[in-house]
Structures are given as structure tokens and as C-alpha cells.
Amino acid sequence: MDYYAEVAEGLPKRLRNFIDGEFVESVQSFPKFSPIDGRELSHVAEADAAAVDAAVRAARRAQQGPWRQYTTAQRAETLHRIADSIQDRFDEFVAAEVADTGRPIAQAKALDIARGISNFRTFADLVSTAHGECFESVGADGTQLLNYVTRKPLGVVGVISPWNLPLLLLTWKVAPALAMGNSVVAKPSEESPTSATLLAEVIRDSGLPNGVFNLIHGHGPNAAGEWLTKHPEIDAITFTGESRTGSTIMKAVANGVKNVSFELGGKNAAIVFADADFDAAVEGVLRSSFINAGQVCMCTERVYVERSIFERFVSELKTRAEALRVGSPYESGITTGPMISSAHRDKVLSYFKLAVEEGANVVTGGNVPKFDNACDNGAFVQPTIWTGLPDSARCVNEEVFGPVCHISPFDAEDEVVARVNNSNYGLAACVWTTHLARGHRVAQRIETGIVWVNAWYARDLRTPFGGAKLSGFGREGGRHSMDFYSELTNICVRVA
């Protein structure tokens, strides 16, 4: 048996809610199934309305208790202890992430868990070194004034995180929220509850006061997610997930005029100019389209290639896509895992069918792979490439969130920029060119929150991240996270 499969066997089989410093049971529970082979991995406690209320009230009490007295240095020290403990239990977290999502082990080690650790360390260091604004001025009556800005915690923050990068995206929100002195009630996706439960264990043992971090498991509509967003004692909601869910949450918090930060869906584009480093561009698009089986919010689903290299690019990307190895992450050499669930696989397959109905040329893929082993009970689909669809096709406009991209030729810079921007989404884009001035010029014209030039998924954690249009609003990262998770107060003092 693979080492990480063996470690996964030792993970908890009953995942409970974590409220006010203790793991608590619930009347109802639901099963978590493996996307790799369909077997049951665990039973997860379903938080009812009373449990959600208890978690929020515990967080509120913690805000008024010892957590309020923690200095910035003490909060930073606690975050570093949490990071140290995740590092100490690194293999358990890797095993949990792989078991829940089916992603390749190497990716979980290098990205998910490593980034989860880095999130706590980054915000611990940022809050330790952050400086405020201070202005000296003269009032209309000639008095000397000193204005300085302080940060106060918002209070109780509801954190709702997705299943595709479970620990990474949960800690991306929890770490800055705690760094700024807030209490947290976190609800991970019902599809990926295990690493969040391990994080609750780590936080329990970190010395953080009871109630500062609470974890509730459950679903969204008419369940834990909805009850959390509607709770009157929640001061802010941060959410990563589908655009429709973001819209629902916005309506839920509207009456209370509560702070929200949304990172939502995307239909991200890549532009490949004829002067691009061809091999780098092909490899970049391969990675951005198919990593984590296309289940990353920043994955590329629309590819625009300058006409003079279009046929060559399609041919080479096809060759490399067909060389990807789909299967169980516990087998050596696997590059591509399953969809998160059979339900999500069926959604992706419905788009595969729709693409053919809309007239797509299926360059490769489009089906379910056959293994002749337990993986046939999993949620796998083949990496898929389409060409030939018009820009108006649903499959070119709607987010599939699977291992798929559509490739179109283009002839001119203005044309391709207009086509890329003709989208309801605005999360991310890539530009591949060796012409530096063009790369800079095109990047400025693209209507997305982040643009990579000759790269993908490379970013300093101190920079702003977020989307435009239906891809959300608000920015996370560095001081931008600190701004969201704190209330800014200007104090004006007359000094003379």
C-alpha cells in the first residue's frame, strides 16, 4: 500500500464540529465518499441551526474575552505556532487532502499543504511589521492637528471555503482574520471536510482561546452555510465558490449591510502570440488547463492562438494532453486525478455532450477513462480539448470547472483583446509573448483581477488577488486582506 494511503487509513472516520474549544457531535451526519474509488471515507457531523448559533455565540464571547487582550506580537506568535504544528503533521494533512480530493500527492505536498503553512507565516509576519498612517496638518483655525489611523477587528467573521484547494483556501482566509484579532466560524465544503478538521485539532492545541476559531460542517442552502450567512451576530462573510452562491450570500447579508469578500467563478483566457516561446506557451497552457483536473478557479478554459501557429499549437497541446496520466494518486507517475464527486463529474460530462451538440471538434478526450480496477467507481474524466466553436457557444461562455479548454485562432491584437473581454467573468488571464511592450500593453487592457505574462499561478502573497464582473469583488492578499478583516479608525488630536 502507498505510504499516504496508509496514513489516510488512520485519519478520523467521524468528523465532528468544533465549537468553543471542543469537538461536538450532532444528531444528523452525512457520508464523505472517495472520488478515487467511490468508497465511503468518513461520516461528517451535520451542523444544525442550534450548532451554528452556538458557534457564532462562542466566537462573540471570545471577542469580548481574553482574545481581545492579545497584543499584535502574541497573535503573530500564535499563528507561527499553528504553522509549526501543521508542519509537524505534514503527512497527515497531505493524506487528508489526497483522500478527499484525489489530487496527485506531489501537488498536495508542494502546493496545498506548503501554502497552508505559508499563509499563517505570511500574515503573522505582515501583522508584526505593519505600520499605520500618520499625518500632521494645520486646521482652518490655525491649530496643529495630528491624525493617525488604527485598526480594530471586525468581530466575528464567517469563512466559507471551497473543495478544490481545501486547506490552501481555508487558511488564506482564516490566517488574516485571526491576525487582525477577529474570531472565526469556518464552514468548509461538505466535499472536503478532513483537512479542516485536522486544522481544528491543530488550533485547539495551539493555545488560542476557546471560541476564537470554530468549525461547522454541512451543506449550503437551508443548512449550515445559509444559517451562518443569515446569523445576526456575524459581522462579515468571506466566500470562495460559485457566482450564483455569491449572489445568494449577498442577498442574505444585505439587510445587515455586512462586509463581504467574494472570489467567484471564472472563464479564464490565455492569449498566445506567434512570437511566444512556443514550448513554454504550450506547457503553460497545458498546466493552466489541466492541473488538479481543471478544478482551480484560475484554470484556463479559453485559449486564443495567433493564426500562423494555430494548427501547430493545437497538435502539440493534443500530444502533451494525451501524455497526461489519469488515475489514482497512489499510483506512481499519475498527473491527473478525478473530479471531486460523481455529481460534479456528471456536470462536466454534460458540457462534453453539449460541446458536440454545439458543433465542437473534439481534438482529444471527451469521455470517461476505463481502468479495469476500483477507479472505475471513481469520478474521472479525460483531459479534453475542443476547437471550432463560435464565441457565442455556451461551452465558450460558461464555466465547466473540469479538465477542458477550447482553442480559437485570432488575427489581430485588438480583436483578441475584445474577444477575451467579451465575458461575464473577470478573474484571471495569461498572455504569452516575447514582445515585452506588447505583453505589458495587452495586460493593461484585459478586464480581469490578475494577468500573467509568460507565466501562470505565480504570485507574491502580498499582492492583491480577486476578480471583476461575476468573478467577485474585494481583494485578498497582504495589506488588502488586512484592510478587509479590520475596521479603520482615524483619530484626530489637537496638539497645539
Contact 432, 281 (CB under 8 A): yes
Task: Give how far the C-alpha of residue 147 lies from the chain's centroid of Cα atoms, to the nearest Å.
Answer: 37
Q: Alpha-carbon torsion 394, 397, 401, 405, what sign?
A: positive
Among 297, 395, 405, 430, the one annotated catalytic: 297
Side chain identity at 62, as an amino acid letter? Answer: A
Q: Where are the beta strands (DSSP E) in 360-466?
A: 361-364, 384-387, 404-410, 425-426, 428-432, 450-453
Q: Measured over all CA atoms, what is the biggest interatomic distance in the chain, rounded to whole angstroms?
A: 85
Query: Residue with C-alpha cell 490566517?
Result: 175
Give catalytic status of residue 395 as yes or no. no
Angstrom distance (rounded) from CA 245 to CA 239: 9
Nearest to 399 by CA among 458, 466, 454, 344: 344
| Burial classification of residue 69, based on how many CB atoms lie within 10 Å of its CB (0-12 exposed, 13-18 middle, 19 or more buried) | exposed
Closest CA to 268 of 453, 442, 399, 384: 399
125-128-130 Cα angle (round to 5):
100
DSSP annotation string for 228-289: HHH-TT--EEEEES-HHHHHHHHHHHHTTT-EEEEE----EEEEE-TTS-HHHHHHHHHHHH
Task: Provide the grid cell at 276.
Answer: 511566444
A 10 A CB-CB count for 26 gives 18
Q: Which amino acid is at 474?
A: G
| Contact partners, residue 179, CB within 8 Å, separation at least 6 | 75, 76, 79, 123, 124, 126, 127, 482, 485
Q: How far apart are the first and last CA of the chain?
A: 76
C-alpha–C-alpha distance, residues 408 and 413, integer Å: 14
Q: Which of 263, 301, 306, 399 is catalytic?
A: 263
Exposure of 232 in the CB half-sphere (CA atoms within 13 A): 0
Alpha-carbon distance of 157 to 175, in angstroms, equals: 12
* β-bridge mates for residue 336, sequence order: 326
d(CA 214, CA 23): 9
Round to whole Å and give the CA distance between 384 and 350.
Answer: 13
Whether 263 sits among the annotated catalytic residues: the reply is yes
Any idea which residues carry the catalytic annotation? 263, 297
